[in-house]
Amino acid sequence: MTEAEVESLHQRINALRAEHRQLDSLVNRLCATQVYNDQRLQELKLRRLRVKDRLAALERKLKQ
């Protein structure tokens, strides 16, 4: 893997980590309210899980 590819992976990983933190915060804030849309909450949780999966895949690729 070239240095440029490694740097690109690092940038993508950092972006995904930031997105995951934002989603996590949003889910937590939504759960803290007593009134929320269950469907919206499930969509956010699923999106957060997909981000986490993509993040794990990129981190594995980086370790190769």
Q: How many other C-beta atoms lie within 10 A of the C-beta of residue 16? A: 20
The pLDDT of residue 64 is above 90: no
Q: What is the pLDDT of residues 4-62, one digit of tens each?
A: 999 999 999 999 999 999 999 999 999 998 887 899 999 999 999 999 999 999 999 99
Burial degree of 51 (CB within 10 A; 0-12, 13-18, 19+): buried
The pLDDT of residue 1 is above 90: no
Burial degree of 26 (CB within 10 A; 0-12, 13-18, 19+): middle
**Domain segments of the chain as ranges:** 3-56
33 DSSP assignment: S
pLDDT at 35: 82
